[in-house]
Structures are given as C-alpha cells and as structure tokens.
A and B are shown apart, each in its own frame.
Chain A
Amino acid sequence: MRRTTRYALLPASWGAAGPGASALLAIPSLVAFGIAALPSLVLGDEPAATPKDLFIRAEQLHVRPGRVLERGMLWVHEGQIVAVGTDIKLPEGAVVIEGKVVCAGFIDSWSAFALEPNAQFDDRAGPATRAVDAVDSYVDVRHERALLAAGITSVRLQPTVGARAGGVGAVLRLHPSKSFAETTVIADACSATAIGVSRGDGRALDVFERVSAVDRVIGAIADGHAYLVETNEYRHELADWEKKIADKQKELDDGFKKAKKDREKAQTEAKDKGNEFKDKEYKEDKKPKAPRFDEEKEIYARIAAGELPLVVEVHRALELRALLAGTKRFDRLRLVVAGASEAAQCAELLAERRIPVIVWPVPMGVQRAPEYRGASLALAAELDHAGIEVLLGSGAMDPLASRDLPLLAALAVGHGLPRETALAALTTRPARVFDVADKLGTLELGRSADVLVLDGDPFAATTSVRYVLSAGELVVGEVKK
C-alpha cells in the first residue's frame, strides 16, 4: 500500500522561500533570511547618507585610460571632485574609503535598461520619438542597484531597438532614489536607425530589402540635409525681406518732410491739369514661405548638420560599404556604427572616416539571427587593431544584460582588446561620442563624481565592486562615520 503523503520526509518551509513563485530579482541576502526578517529593507529607500567630504584612496587610480596614479587619492566634496592626486593632505576625521582599483563609472553605450517594455520594440514610432519619454520611471529599483553594483553608472537609451527609425536617444545616470527625469545627463544624445536587422521575428530580410534600407537611410539624411538647407535659406530670405521693409521704412521716415512737400506739389499740379492724383503705392515683396514642418526631416536636418550623431545598427559588409559610400557627401554627418559584425572587412574605410563602432561582445550559438553570422568575440580587437574607435555595449535586447557588461568586456579583452582600450570603450569614448564628455567618463576636477571603487581588476570575475558614487552620492557600499 502506498504511503499517503509523498513529502513525509521533506520540510516545505514557507518563511525561507523568498518573494513569490514568479522569478523576481533579489539581492542575495534575501534568499537566506526571507523578507520578513528584514523590516528595515524598504524598496527605493534612501542610500546611507554620503559624507560631505569623502576621500577615496586607491592602489591604482584610473583618472582616465592611460593616466593611472599609483596610490592615488580622490577628494569628493559635496558630490564634486575637488582634488585628484597622490599627496592630498587629509584633514582630521576625514572619511576614507580604500580600494585596489578606482575608476570612472561605466557607461553602457547600447542598453535597453529601464525602457518601458512596449517602447523597446515599437515599430510605429518615428525618429522624433524621444527616449526620455519612453523611460519606465517605476523600474524595479533592485534592478537599478544590481547594475550599479556591477559598476554601470550611466546608460545610453534608445527607444525602438532595431527599428528602421530609432528615435532620439538619451544618456541617463542611474541612481536608486532619484527619478530618471532628475538624472538625465543629455536628453538629445543621438538618433538611431537599423539596417538589415531581423529582430527575431523569423523573417530573414532578403538582400534587396536590405540594400533598399541603406538607400532609405541615405535618402532620409539627404532629405534632412535638403530640409536644413531650405530652412537656412528661408531664414536668410526672411531676414532679407524684413531688412528690405525696414530699409524702405527708414527711407520713407527720413525723407518724410520732402516727400510730403512733393506729394502736395503733385496733388496741386494734378488738380491744375485736371488729372486724377494717384498715391504712389509701395508694394511689399511676398513674404518668403517657411518650409513645411516635418518632424522627421527636422531630426534628420539636425543629423545632417552634425548636431546629433546617427547610430546605425548594421552588420553585413555589403550594407556597411553601401552606407559609407552613400554618406560620404554629407561632410557634417557624425556617423556611429553599432553591431558591425562583418566590419572587419571594411575596417580601413571606417578608420579613415573616424567612425566609432559600438560592439556587443557576446558569444552566440548556431541559432543566431542571420545578421550575426559573421559575429565573433574577436571583433572588438580586430577593429581596434585597424585603428577604429571601439565602444562596448550590452546589445539592447535584454534590459538586465547591462549588468553583465564588464564580463562581456572581459571576453573582448580575452580575445585581444587591450585592457586600457576596453576601459576607454566603457568610459571616455562613449562620453565623447554622445557629447557628455564634460560630465562623464573621467575622474577630473569639477566633475560630479561617478566613481567605482573595486577590489581588483574590473574585468575579473572574482572582483567585487565595493563602493559606487553616482552623481556624487554613495549608492553602493556604506561608510561608518
């Protein structure tokens, strides 16, 4: 006879099972203790207060890639970096934190973190859609903390990943108790588009579709350029027109008395001769017509003018070459290539044009999307070797993948990318490409501090991040007074 209860031998403890059967992100300690035992852990609570004066000491202080201070020190006063050096004198009772390696917070150049879920793959949005509108303000703060604990302090967000028209991206800082509205570093960082990206809907794009996609992008830039020219011409014409009217007015004002006398004289003359007197009519020129407002062309005008960089996700060498050839004539255009799986085949063209490339160094299996056929972990190293400015990103497919960017960077380093270059690819280069180099990327005076304090090589699996400052506030790690 079968025994009755199968689980006669097993405990099924209720209290120790963490939050919910559905998979939630949890800080590791919650698994061990259960939420009930930590009543003070309120989600989204304020981080421990940051001391007014914080001194950070490091065996290796990476001010920026290439400039490393041995036994360097950093002084953060009210959130700003006020001193960087090797012999800063500590006042009495200074709060000091130590680490083996200290560097600037990492920037994920290709992220989907905190994007509102519908916005990530929305095809109907246009180039004027803005990332700051697509941000999920209520993203689980535990996810944000997980990214910070891995060293990611800022992300570039783009709505509509992989869509033809990518919208206007933004660079945001991460801070667990501040809203994204407060922590936006730049709301108009770049625009984006994608060519030949299949996006996992199973449909492989055929080569004609892909090539015509290149033409579409170039056409859009050309339209934008034309719009820019038109708008500029209109402005000039409008200015001319207004000047003409002003001049004429001045002329009339100056010669008013004389003109009045002439008019009266002419009036009496006409009356004498029995003619009708006609007043001289001054007809204005037709007001120049403004070009019809087109929000898509507006954006592309800014792209053509070089105001907004254009990040193009393109993988195959064929499309990449076509893109480069077609955009050669736009001399102000700032092009950035993302993905670039087969870019090694036209590396010299990219290097020549000084086009930065955002690489997603992820291992892929045999069932990868067709555009990733040529992808390899050695891509970053190959492109760097050819003289291209390489940036690293987490692919913008999985919002939480940003957390693992340092491990992806490690893979790229393992396949030949120099460590210093990898560090630059995570800090100074994205800061420069997205026009936030004055705020992010380095540990220099006057900056609002985005600092990582680590106990080892940032790319090692065994390293843990001990402290993180975001916008000058301590968001990971606690200090005792």
Chain B
Amino acid sequence: MLSFLLAAAALAPANAPAAHGADTFTLKAAHLRLYGNKVVDGGVVKVEKGKVTYAGDAKGAGELGPDVIEHAGWASAGLVAARTWSGLGGEGLEPKRPFTAEARAADVVALGHADFARARAEGITTMVVALSPANVASGITTVVKTDGETTLARDGHLQLGLSSQALRTNRFPTSYTAAIELIEAELAKPTGVWERVSEGKLSVYLDALSRDEIQRAVALASEHKLTGALLRAPLAGELAGEIKKAGLAVVVGPFGPGEEARVLASVAALGRERVPVAFGLESPTSPEALLRVSAAMCVRAGLDPAQAWEGLTTTAASVAGVGARVGKLAAGCDADIVLWSGDPLQLTSKVEGVFIGGVQHESKGGAGHGGAH
C-alpha cells in the first residue's frame, strides 16, 4: 500500500502546483520568452486568479508569494493557431449551399474534443476554429481555448472563400464574377452578419489560392474597407505591397517537410514588407505539431525569427481579435503559459507543461506519443 502511494507520488509531475487552490502562483523560469526577440533570463511571471499580474525579470517582481513553481527550461505565452478545423468532427462544410454566411462554427465545435487535447500537447492554448474553404461564404469562425471549456469569442470572423475550390461547375456560382457579385450584393444592403462586417465590427477571413485570386480578394477588401486576413494564399509574398496597402494580414500554413521553397520564400517576403503573418493549421487532418514546424521552416527560408515568434503568438492573437487577452505574457492578460524544455522557436524543444487561465492541464498525447484517434 505504502509502495503504491510512493509510486503514485513519484508519477506526479514535479512542477505541479501542490494543491494551491485557486489559480494563483508565481512561476520562475530560467528563460522567459516575452515577445518578438525579447528573452528574459531568470524571468518571473506572477499569476493571480488566472490573470498575469507581472511578467519580466526577477528584479522587478517584488514579493514572490507562497506558491512558487520553478522551471529549469523556458516559459512563454501559449501558442495561438490562427486557423484550424479542430473540434468540428468533420462538420465544417455545408456542401449543398454555397452561401451559408450565418452558419457558426461555435454551434458545431465540441470544446472537449480530443483534438484540443492534442493541440495542448503542442503548446497551443488558443485556436481559431474556421470552416471549409469550399464555400463562397462558409460562415463565422469562433475563437476558443484548448482547455475544453473556454470560448474567447463566439464570433471570430466571417469566412469567405474566393479560391477555385469555392466554385463548382454544377451549382451556382461557377465563376469568380458571380461569387464577388453575391458578396457585394450583401454588402450593398447589409443585414445580419453582413451588417456587422460592413460597419467594421466583424473582420473577415478571405481564402484564396492563386495570385489572381489573392488579387481579387485584396481588391474586394480594399473597396469595401474590410479588415481581417487572407487564408492560405501561398504566393502572397509576391503581392506583398498590395496586401500591405489593403491592411490585411495573412494566415499561412501549415507547412510540412518538402514544402516548396518558393512558398516559404513568399512568407519571408511578407515579413520583409511588414505584412502581419500568422500561422495556421488544418488539424486534425494534418498534425498540430506543424504549427511550430511551419514557423521553423519559414525561419530557415529567411523569415525574421522575431516575426516568426509573433506569428505564433501576438500577431495570431490580434488576427483572431483576442490580442488583449492572449498571445503574450503581460500584466492583464490571461495566464496561458507553456513550459518548454528549450526555446519554443526551436524544434529541439518540447512541451513540458501547459497552464490555461492559471490552471495546469494535461499536456501529453501529441505527436510525441503514438496512437491515432
């Protein structure tokens, strides 16, 4: 009996806050990634009732309080995936109707789905659940945390599809012209979700693939003063100037081994032109681990590492419209913190602990451990 208890104690992660009741503690990490390229050695994060009250060096931290967690590796804000299909259970597409602007991902997503547990294991704490690109107006995205219970924003963006995948040959619309006419007709006499879009209260996600599709999407956004981001847009870097002028961001990825060099170079070009870049996923179809792999591959292709880190955190959070709450370790933000074995920008590091809202969550079961679902 005693040996069982001892064994059980040995299995408990050494870093777990020992029965600290509410989500209040202080974290001391050997290295703290704050934002951009800013790394603080011997950093401290103070968490009170699930919110960060201080994040910085040990000197400015003052009293550390009773509950102190020491971590010998790195700590950072939880990663934000600006696009994913996690939690939808394959229900993200209404194939018969091309125009389902009022359909909400929030109505379909299962917050407790195993997809989110896998995402947590990769250090992702916030995700924008988007819909299929195969519709001209697929619906409204939602922004959730991967803790199985929190919705950050019920309505994230109106997702519009302007790629050839949104068109069909056997149902209306079959042409780009008609697709754009549909959208413009709605914006001319906006009701419902369109009203919020035309008033600037809701941003859009514009899915486009080829360069002429990107051009059409950017023209649409410019003309109607839409805010938001392009999705996918593989060679967007070759149109970086136009995208910058339109004030749009780009959600790129996911990229895996063997991705074309020209596409990765395009991301680097976007970075150089200061177009905000965020990384996205197509999970669960592709693995959640690709979020950081995409960032690493873009860095190798020339993207500034600071911009790559922002693309995983702050920029992705602001594209998701929740930049005030998540994406960085700063006073007032949610205590979504990930403990890493090394620098999270490097693929040689892995997740060692995940806190969401100051509460530690199970973070095993990602690509590091076998077993498909």
A residues sitting closer than 8 Å to B (CB atoms) are 6-7, 9-12, 16-18, 21, 23-28, 31-32, 142, 146, 150, 341-342, 362-368, 373-379, 394-395, 398-401, 403-405, 407-408, 410-411, 413-415, 419, 457, 459-462, 464
Contact = CB atoms under 8 A, between A and B. Distances in A.
Interface stretch (B137-145, B199-207, B279-287): B279-287
Nearest to A5: B219
Nearest to A398: B258
A364 B258 contact: no
Contact of A378 (B218, B269, B369): B369
A26 B261 contact: yes
B257 A460 contact: no
Contacts of A405: 257
B262 A25 contact: yes
A149 to B, nearest CB: 9
A363 B291 CA distance: 11
Given A374-B370, A377-B367, A464-B300, A21 B268 contact: no
12 contacts: A23-B263, A25-B261, A31-B265, A31-B269, A366-B285, A366-B373, A376-B367, A377-B368, A408-B257, A410-B347, A410-B348, A462-B305
B302 interface: yes
Given A404-B297, A460-B348, A461-B345, A373 B371 contact: yes
Contact of B287 (A11, A364, A374, A460): A364
B110 interface: no
Instruction: Give the 4 A-B CB pairs with smallest separation, nearest first.
Output: A363-B289, A398-B258, A461-B296, A401-B258
Interface residues of B, number: 60
Contacts, number: 165
Interface in B265-308: 265-266, 268-269, 283-290, 293, 295-297, 299-302, 305, 308
Interface stretch (B9-17, B167-175, B235-243, B315-323): B235-243
Interface stretch (B58-66, B127-135, B209-217): B209-217
A365 B216 CA distance: 33
A25 B260 contact: yes
A341 B372 CA distance: 12
Given A18-B262, A363-B287, A410-B347, 19 more contacts: A7-B219, A9-B219, A10-B215, A23-B260, A23-B263, A28-B268, A31-B266, A31-B269, A363-B288, A364-B372, A365-B284, A366-B373, A403-B258, A407-B296, A410-B346, A411-B348, A459-B346, A461-B295, A461-B305
Contacts of A12: 215
Contacts of B347: 407, 410-411, 413-414, 459, 461
A6 B219 contact: yes
B372 A373 contact: yes
Given A31-B269, A365-B284, A404-B257, A461 B346 contact: yes
A contacts with B: majority SS: loop
Contact of A9 (B222, B237, B341): B222
A375 B372 CA distance: 9
Contacts of B284: 365-367
Contact of A10 (B219, B258, B285): B219
Contacts of A16: 238
Contacts of A363: 256, 287-290, 293, 367
A376 B265 CA distance: 29
Given A7-B215, A31-B237, A400-B260, A407 B372 contact: no
A398 B345 contact: no
B361 interface: no
B285 A365 contact: yes
A21 B210 contact: yes
Contacts of B289: 363, 377, 411
A455 B295 CA distance: 19
Nearest to B302: A28
Contact of A366 (B180, B299, B308, B372): B372
Given A21-B211, A378-B368, A401-B258, A32 B269 contact: yes
B242 A26 contact: no
B213 to A, nearest CB: 12
B244 interface: no
Nearest to B305: A462
A23 B299 contact: no
Contact of B258 (A17, A376, A399, A461): A399
A9 B293 CA distance: 36
Interface string B336-362: 000001100111111000000000000
A415 B348 CA distance: 8
B258 A404 contact: yes
Contacts of B342: 414
B349 A365 contact: no
A150 B285 CA distance: 28
A18 to B, nearest CB: 7
Contact of A31 (B210, B257, B259, B262): B262
B144 to A, nearest CB: 19
A11 B369 contact: no
B285 A341 contact: no
- Tell which of A362, A363, A411 has the most Cβ of chain B within 10 Å: A363
A301 B202 CA distance: 70
B296 A28 contact: no
Which of B216, B234, B238 counts the most chain A CB atoms within 10 A?
A: B238
